[in-house]
Chain A
Amino acid sequence: MSTTATRAMLTPGTSSRRPRGGAKAHGGSRAEATTAWLFLAPFLLIFLVFTAIPAILALGTSMTDMTARDIRDPLGVNFTGIDGFLAIIGNPGFQRSFLNTVLFVVLCVPLSMGLGLALALMLNNGIRRLRTFFRAAAYVPVITNIVAAAVIWQYAFSISGPVNATLGDIGIQGPNWLGEPGWAVTTVVMMGVWRTTGTCMILFLAGLQAVPEEIYEAASTDGAGAWRRLWSITLPLLRPTTLLVTVLQTVSFLNIFEEPYLLTRGGPLSSTKSVALWVYEQFGFGNVSASMAGSVLLLLLVGIVAIVQFRMLRPKH
Chain B
Amino acid sequence: MKTLSPTRQALNYTVLIVITVFMLLPFVWVFFGSFKTQAEFLGNPGAWLPESFQIGNYVQLFAERGFGDYMMNSFIVSSVAIVGNVLFSAMAGYALAKLRFRGRGAVFPLVIVAMIVPYVALFVPQFLIVVQLGLVNTLIAIILPVLALPLCVFIMRQFAHGVPFELLEAARLDGAGEARIFFRVFLPLTGPGLATVAILSFLTSWNNFLWPLVVAQSQDTYTAPVGLSVASQASNTISFGLLLAGAMVVLLPILILFLFLQKYFIQGVAATGLK
A156 touches B26 (CB 8 A): yes
Name the B residues within 8 Å of A140 (CB-CB). 23-24, 27, 255, 258
The size bracket of the interface on A is: 35 or more
Q: Which of A33, A202, A288 contacts B102 (CB 8 A)?
A: A33
Q: How far is the CA of A228 from the CA of B98 in the complex (A)?
A: 46
B45 contacts A by Cβ under 8 Å: yes
Name the B residues within 8 Å of A262 (CB-CB). 229, 232
A55 contacts B by Cβ under 8 Å: yes
Q: How far is the CA of A22 from the CA of B171 in the complex (A)?
A: 13
A276 touches B144 (CB 8 A): no
A137 touches B265 (CB 8 A): no
Name the A residues within 8 Å of B232 (CB-CB). 147, 150-151, 154, 262
A98 contacts B by Cβ under 8 Å: no
Interface string of A135-179 (1 = CB under 8 A from B): 111111111111111111111101011101110110000000000
Name the B residues within 8 Å of A29 (CB-CB). 100-101
B39 contacts A by Cβ under 8 Å: no
A78 contacts B by Cβ under 8 Å: no
Contacts A140-B23, A217-B1, A254-B118: A145 and B172 contacting too (C-beta < 8 A)?
no
**Surface stretch bound by B, among A79-87, A88-96, A125-133, A180-188:** A125-133
**Surface stretch bound by A, among B51-59, B61-69, B86-94:** B86-94
Name the B residues within 8 Å of A31 (CB-CB). 178
Q: Which of A74, A141, A151 contacts B128 (CB 8 A)?
A: A74
Interface residues of A in 290-317 (CB under 8 A from B): 291-292, 295-296, 298-299, 302, 306
Name the A residues within 8 Å of B2 (CB-CB). 125
B16 touches A42 (CB 8 A): no
Q: How far is the CA of A156 from the CA of B24 in the complex (A)?
A: 13
Contacts A46-B145, A151-B232: A142 and B1 contacting too (C-beta < 8 A)?
no
A12 touches B274 (CB 8 A): yes
Interface string of B98-112 (1 = CB under 8 A from A): 111110100101111
Shortest C-beta distance, A285 to chain B (Å), equals: 12
B148 contacts A by Cβ under 8 Å: yes
B129 touches A57 (CB 8 A): yes
Name the A residues within 8 Å of B19 (CB-CB). 115, 119, 138
Name the B residues within 8 Å of A126 (CB-CB). 4, 8-9, 12
Q: How far is the CA of A16 from the CA of B112 in the complex (A)?
A: 19
Q: Which of A141, A144, A152, A162 contacts B48 (CB 8 A)?
A: A162
A223 contacts B by Cβ under 8 Å: no
Q: How far is the CA of A288 from the CA of B127 in the complex (A)?
A: 11
Q: Which of A6, A54, A125, A143 contacts B125 (CB 8 A)?
A: A54
Shortest C-beta distance, B87 to chain A (Å), equals: 8
Q: How far is the CA of A148 from the CA of B226 in the complex (A)?
A: 10
Shortest C-beta distance, B231 to chain A (Å), equals: 9
A36 contacts B by Cβ under 8 Å: yes
Interface string of B1-43 (1 = CB under 8 A from A): 1101000110011011001101111110110010000000000
Q: Which of B46, B88, B122, B274 contacts A166 (CB 8 A)?
A: B46
A139 touches B265 (CB 8 A): yes
B150 touches A142 (CB 8 A): no
B150 touches A143 (CB 8 A): no
Contacts A39-B99, A127-B12: A143 and B26 contacting too (C-beta < 8 A)?
no
Q: How far is the CA of A21 from the CA of B158 in the complex (A)?
A: 23
Name the B residues within 8 Å of A115 (CB-CB). 19
A47 touches B114 (CB 8 A): yes
Q: How far is the CA of A251 from the CA of B120 in the complex (A)?
A: 11
Name the A residues within 8 Å of B125 (CB-CB). 53-55, 57-58, 61, 292
Interface string of A193-223 (1 = CB under 8 A from B): 0100111001100100000010011001000
B118 touches A255 (CB 8 A): yes
Most chain B beta-carbon neighbours within 10 Å: one of A147, A150, A162, A275 = A147
Contacts A127-B9, A152-B244, A291-B124: A32 and B273 contacting too (C-beta < 8 A)?
no
B107 touches A54 (CB 8 A): no
Name the B residues within 8 Å of A269 (CB-CB). none
B262 contacts A by Cβ under 8 Å: yes
Name the A residues within 8 Å of B131 (CB-CB). 71-72
Q: Which of A43, A49, A206 contacts B92 (CB 8 A)?
A: A43
10 A–B contact pairs at CB < 8 A? Answer: A9-B274, A54-B122, A61-B124, A128-B9, A141-B26, A143-B258, A148-B246, A165-B46, A258-B209, A292-B124
Residues of A within 8 A of B (CB): 1-2, 5-6, 9, 12-16, 18-19, 22-23, 25-26, 29, 31-33, 35-37, 39-40, 42-44, 46-47, 49-55, 57-58, 61, 71-72, 74, 115, 118-119, 122-123, 125-128, 132, 134-156, 158, 160-162, 164-166, 168-169, 194, 197-199, 202-203, 206, 213, 216-217, 220, 244-245, 248, 251, 254-255, 257-258, 262, 275-276, 279-280, 283, 288, 291-292, 295-296, 298-299, 302, 306
**Given pairs A42-B88, A147-B226, A147-B247, 16 additional interface contacts (CB within 8 A):** A16-B97, A29-B101, A46-B88, A54-B122, A57-B129, A134-B16, A138-B20, A140-B23, A140-B258, A148-B250, A165-B45, A165-B46, A169-B46, A199-B269, A257-B210, A299-B121
| A-B residue pairs, 4 tightest by C-beta | A165-B46, A54-B125, A57-B125, A33-B101
